[in-house]
A = this chain, B = another copy of it.
């Protein structure tokens, strides 16, 4: 009841700094969580607004609509990931060790960013509609292929890699277990238990993936020849 309507406490913030970038970033941060958790249709703009310092109005001010916000989230996450990729230095290693490092790093990078994985899953549910629409994303992801090309070229030149080794195929072969390891953890462990997803199991899986890839590419490779960690 309390009828202090006379108060008319217009809830306007008494004072604020003009900091568009910070507001934008905060919205994106919250929206990333929300979209990753509930998907595009499941996410609620009102929930995002509530969790943000900014008001709901600002979401539309900066991102036009829900899809615009989703697209921005997607692009930011993809970009962030590329930076991590670029940090890898494989040129200094032997082809075998370089490839092993790429495999291990990919496996671990996926495991470390479940949020990114979820957004990619969601985007695939939407048939990559928003990824395709993006100008910035398609030309990302190139660096990892580049690294694989370098390693493959050196490995073949040194005669330690099979001539059949193909960078794009390899990227696919390395990504698939790394991605699946995170994306399908819930259903897999429901059906078959969690033993593969503890610290032990994860190390074993990483080792298996390294062994599989090197076994395919490196002439005369024996499982366990290169150890993970």
- Chain A, residues 178-196, CB within 8 Å of chain B (1/0): the string is 0111011111111111011
Distance of A7 Cα from B169 Cα, bound (Å): 67
Q: Is the CB of A124 within 8 A of B184?
A: yes
Q: Is the CB of A176 within 8 A of B181?
A: yes
Q: In chain B, what residue has the closest Cβ to A186?
A: B128
Distance of A208 Cα from B177 Cα, bound (Å): 14
* CB contact under 8 A between A171 and B190, given known A122-B125, A125-B121, A181-B176: no
Distance of A223 Cα from B216 Cα, bound (Å): 7
Q: Is the CB of A121 within 8 A of B121?
A: yes
Chain A, 41-59, CB within 8 A of any chain B CB: 41-42
Q: Residue A212 at the B interface, CB < 8 A?
A: yes
Q: Residue A95 at the B interface, CB < 8 A?
A: no
Q: Residue A26 at the B interface, CB < 8 A?
A: no
Not counting A128-B186, A176-B176, A212-B213, a sample of 16 additional A-B residue pairs whose C-beta atoms are within 8 angstroms of each other reads A39-B41, A39-B42, A39-B125, A118-B125, A120-B184, A120-B187, A123-B186, A141-B192, A164-B223, A168-B192, A168-B195, A172-B205, A175-B188, A176-B181, A179-B184, A212-B212
